[in-house]
């Protein structure tokens, strides 16, 4: 079905008024009968007690009357810096876990006086994206997922970014890094399944593009956990579609797997359903393990075992950004996020 926009008749009253020009501080000054400097002093509460109360009132009233709003770009141009923290909007589909993390982070940065802006750099890649971000002269850049290369980071720093922080699986030269330990997630999964006596272990790798930075380390972590044991790891590419899951399940017995780590809870649900439809018993024939500890895992039957992931607290990350901004000489640090832990339920 094709979506169609249907225009609804407007009430005559809603015709827009003639567009006037945007009021500036000069307009406010004129109306209040003072200079632009005075306006600036009053509206920013600088030079504190040095402006008389009547003047202040006149200025404020004039600003109110004109609907004056300061021009952020002009202000930061003059100031030579901004309080903007730029966050490229991630290209991959974000789950609820990550969404909450972003919210919390924005809130924490807001408390510290920063303005968080998510920039949709669709279609831009690598250094090109970094260039686009640099044009905005953010005071800090917070890049989720696999970000710019070292050249991009250098570019951003030259453009005045006092901190570049990547949040993802790998470290980038010149940038602070919050390393999301996806290897650890995989390791945790592998160790758990091994401890449960499983030896032929499948690992789902999403076919969707953009998830490689997460899926690769998770797979590698499973491999690492089982290295030197008698267990065997099989990589299972899987698209997030019913058909793909059904096909995988149809050839399941051929793989001879007694366990599968399904990348996350959503893929686990998809696969588990397909396996059940195929008559595979869970966990008797095959154990299924998810990750992210989403609500839906608790609602499945058998209840889904999962890897609980503790993301960095938004406050901590905000503090890191703030520290780096205040002290740009601060050598880029790498921080390892801890927090992968098994939540065993019924599927493993």
CB nearer a copy of itself, residue 159 or residue 224: 159
Residues 6 or more apart whose CB falls under 8 angstroms from that of 23 comprise: 66, 67, 68
Cis status of the peptide bond prior to 30, with omega within 30 of 0: no
Q: Any contact of residue 36 with DNA (CB under 7 A)?
A: yes
Window of 29-37, 142-150, 176-184, 260-268 that interacts with DNA by CB under 7 A: 29-37
338 is an interface residue for a copy of itself by CB under 8 A: yes
- As a whole number of angstroms, the longest Cα–Cα distance in the chain is 86
Name the residue among 191, 348, 193 with its Cα closest to residue 283: 348
150 binds, among a copy of itself, DNA, none (CB under 5 to 8 A by kind): none
Selected from 28, 29, 39, 116, the binder of a copy of itself by CB under 8 A is 116
Q: CA–CA separation, 40 vs 46, rounded Å?
A: 8
Scanning 26-34, 38-46, 131-139, 221-229 for contacts with a copy of itself by CB under 8 A, the matching segment is 131-139
Q: Which of residues 51-90 bind DNA (CB under 7 A)?
A: 51-52, 54-55, 68, 70-71, 74-75, 77-80
Are 85 and 117 a contacting pair, CB within 8 Å? yes
Q: How many residues sit close enough to a copy of itself to count as binding (CB under 8 A)?
A: 89
- Applying the rule CB under 8 A, the residues between 15 and 74 that interact with a copy of itself are 15-16, 19-20, 22-23, 67, 69-74
Partner interacting with residue 36 (select from DNA, a copy of itself, none; CB below 5-8 Å by kind): DNA
Number of residues that bind DNA (CB under 7 A): 32
233 vs 294 by CB, closer to a copy of itself: 294
- Cα separation, 304 vs 309, in Å, equals 15
CB of 82 to DNA, least distance (A): 12
3-state secondary structure (DSSP) of residue 229: coil
Name the residue among 138, 266, 130 with its Cα closest to residue 204. 266
Our finding on whether 244 is near a copy of itself (CB under 8 A) is no
Q: Is the peptide bond before 302 cis (omega within 30 degrees of 0)?
A: yes
Q: Report the 3 state secondary structure along 292-312.
A: CCCHHHHHCCCCCEEEEECCC
Interacting residues with DNA (CB under 7 A): 22, 24-26, 33-41, 43-44, 46-47, 49-52, 54-55, 68, 70-71, 74-75, 77-80
């Amino acid at each position: 079905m094709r979506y169609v926009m249907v225009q609804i008749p407007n009430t005559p009253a809603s015709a827009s008024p003639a567009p006037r020009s945007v009021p500036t501080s000069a307009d406010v000054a004129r109306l209040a009968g003072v200079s632009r400097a005075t306006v600036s002093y009053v509206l920013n509460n600088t030079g504190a007690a040095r402006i008389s109360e009547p003047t202040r009132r006149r200025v404020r009233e004039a600003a109110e009357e004109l609907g004056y709003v300061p021009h952020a770009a002009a202000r930061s141009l003059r100031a030579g810096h901004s309080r903007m923290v730029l966050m490229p909007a991630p290209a991959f589909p974000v789950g609820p876990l990550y969404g909450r993390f972003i919210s919390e982070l924005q809130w924490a940065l807001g408390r510290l006086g920063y303005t968080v802006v998510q920039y949709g750099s669709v279609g831009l890649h690598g250094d090109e994206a970094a260039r686009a971000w640099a044009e905005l002269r953010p005071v800090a850049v917070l890049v989720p997922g696999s970000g710019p290369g070292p050249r991009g980071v250098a570019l951003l720093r030259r453009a005045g970014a006092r901190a570049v922080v990547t949040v993802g699986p790998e470290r980038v030269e010149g940038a602070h890094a919050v390393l999301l330990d996806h290897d650890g997630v995989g390791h945790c999964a592998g160790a758990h399944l091994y401890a449960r006596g499983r030896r032929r272990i499948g690992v789902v790798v999403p076919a969707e593009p953009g998830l490689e930075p997460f899926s690769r380390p998770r797979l590698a972590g499973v491999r690492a956990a089982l290295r030197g044991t008698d267990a065997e790891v099989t990589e299972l590419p899987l698209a997030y579609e019913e058909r793909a899951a059904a096909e995988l399940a149809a050839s399941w017995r051929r793989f001879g797997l007694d366990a599968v780590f399904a990348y996350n809870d959503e893929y686990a649900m998809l696969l588990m359903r397909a396996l059940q439809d195929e008559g595979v018993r869970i966990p008797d024939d095959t154990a299924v393990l998810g990750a992210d500890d989403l609500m839906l895992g608790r609602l499945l039957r058998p209840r889904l075992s999962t890897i609980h992931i503790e993301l960095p607290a938004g406050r901590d990350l905000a503090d890191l950004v703030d520290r780096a901004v205040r002290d740009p000489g601060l050598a880029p640090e790498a921080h390892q996020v801890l927090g992968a832990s098994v939540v065993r339920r019924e599927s493993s």
